[in-house]
Amino acid sequence: MSPAATAPSGIPGHPALSPMLQRLAAERATGALMRDRGTLYLAEGQVVHAESPATPGIDILLTTGGTLRSEGWWDAVAQAGAGQRVGRYLVDSGRVPGGALELCHLGALYDAAFFALAPTHTPARFRYGVSHWIGPVRPVPVDAVQRETLRRRELLDRIWPDALTDSAPLVRAAHPLDAPVPPRQRRVLDLVDGARTATDIARELGRSAFHILVDLRRLAAAGMVATVRPAAAGPASAPGRIELPEVTADPDVALLRRLRDALEAL
């Protein structure tokens, strides 16, 4: 490791997402960092796994994608769960190719880390010595996880700067534009029903939650979906009511500011 590992300075130009995580990386800690929206598992200061209630777990990603049948997954958990080597067992028993497991695991790890590292007011806890039953797959440096998480936040805000899309139930727009929707986004759009949230859709499709957030923000930017606003939830759906576009009812100040800034910069 570079000398920076002993004197954590965070990522230059960015505030550290979690000073505690930075410190744990520096002391090469092993255990589980529990935050408000997810848990990061560390081994010798590197991130080895992550879980969040907002994201589908690696089991869902593997089984829904058709890589693995769910009996195969449960068998692996039964055989190797106690020894905390489920990942290794899946590969060694020929159920999942090594490359597929790695990619799926990395996908799940970064996906859950994105939510686990979301801003929160609840203090984090760290339990030393705890490890995850999936076992070693491919450890990732803490800096890489923090960098990627920040990049993802910026990516989402560039697409459509309304974070409510990520967590609120969604509805399809009443008068969508007649534009073609790519197949991947179409499958997401088909599940938007006024009740499901991004997390529900991710579970259903067996895709990473962040992918769904990206698709939903793109659909929102294209005017195809909107969030169910708590105040409008009741009367807005009553028949006979004329539905006005959301923007006039509730101007998105951040977006308007951005527009103004962009126009001024021309």
Partner 1 sequence: MANTEASLKEAMTSIEGTLGVALVDYTSGMALGTLGGGKEFNLEVAAAGNTDVVRAKLRTMEHLGIKDEIEDILITLGAQYHLIRLLKTRGSNGLFLYLVLDSGRANLAMARHQLRKIEAELEV
Strand segments, DSSP code E, in the chain are 31-35, 38-43, 46-51, 125-128, 140-141, 170-172, 225-227
Among candidates 66, 199, 210, 92, which has minimal Cα distance to 149? 210
Quote the least distance from Cβ 97 to partner 1, whole Å: 4
In this structure, the number of other CB atoms found within 10 A of the CB of residue 245 comes to 11
Contact 123, 158 (CB under 8 A): no
Contact 46, 142 (CB under 8 A): yes
60 to 119, contacts with partner 1 by CB under 8 A?
Answer: 61-62, 64-67, 97-100, 102-104, 106-107, 110
Q: Return the number of the residue (125 or 184) whose C-beta is nearest partner 1.
A: 184
Quote the least distance from Cβ 21 to partner 1, whole Å: 19
List 13, 123, 180, 240, residue binding partner 1 (CB under 8 A):
180
Q: Report the C-alpha gap between 53 and 42 in whole angstroms.
A: 18
1 to 60, contacts with partner 1 by CB under 8 A?
Answer: none
181 to 240, contacts with partner 1 by CB under 8 A?
Answer: 181-182, 184, 205-208, 210-211, 214-215
Q: Return the number of the residue (211 or 229) whose C-beta is nearest partner 1.
A: 211
CB-side exposure of 254: number of CA atoms within 13 Å?
7
DSSP state of 235: G
Q: Report the C-alpha gap between 176 and 252 in whole angstroms.
A: 19
Task: Give the total of residues touching partner 1 (CB under 8 A).
Answer: 32
3-state secondary structure of 164: helix
Residue 41, beta-bridge partner list? 32, 49
Q: Return the number of the residue (30 or 64) whose C-beta is nearest partner 1.
A: 64
Among candidates 210, 188, 186, 160, which has minimal Cα distance to 52? 210
Q: Is 152 in the site for partner 1 (CB under 8 A)?
A: yes
Q: Return the number of the residue (17 or 29) whose C-beta is nearest partner 1.
A: 17
Quote the least distance from Cβ 196 to partner 1, whole Å: 18
Q: Return the number of the residue (66 or 129) whose C-beta is nearest partner 1.
A: 66
Q: Return the number of the residue (158 or 257) whose C-beta is nearest partner 1.
A: 158
Find the part of the chain contacting partner 1 (CB under 8 A) among 20-28, 124-132, 148-156, 162-170.
Answer: 148-156
List interacting residues with partner 1 (CB under 8 A): 61-62, 64-67, 97-100, 102-104, 106-107, 110, 148, 151-152, 155, 180-182, 184, 205-208, 210-211, 214-215
